[in-house]
Amino acid sequence: MREFIACQEMVFIATADEHGESDCSFRAGPKGFVEVVNERELRYPEYRGNGVMASLGNLVGNAHVGMLFIDFFESKIGLHVNGTARIVEEPCYADPELQKTAEGSRAGSPVEHWVEVKVEEAYIHCSKHIPRLKKVPKDIFLGTDEAVRKGGDYFGVKRAKEQRVKP
Using CA atoms, how far apart are residues 33 and 26, in angstroms rounded to an integer? 13
| Nearest Cα residue to 38 out of 88, 83, 75 | 83
Q: What is the DSSP letter of 132?
A: P
Using CA atoms, how far apart are residues 99 and 97, in angstroms rounded to an integer? 5
Using CA atoms, how far apart are residues 94 and 2, in angstroms rounded to an integer? 15
Phi, psi values for residue 48, rounded to 5°: -65, 130
The pTM (predicted TM-score) of the whole model is 0.81
Domains of the chain are 2-133 (2.30.110.10)
Judged by average pLDDT, the poorest of 28-32, 81-85, 92-96 is 92-96
Averaged over 19-24, what is the pLDDT? 94
Question: Is residue 110's pLDDT more than 90?
Answer: no
- What's the farthest any 2 CA atoms get from each other in the chain? 59
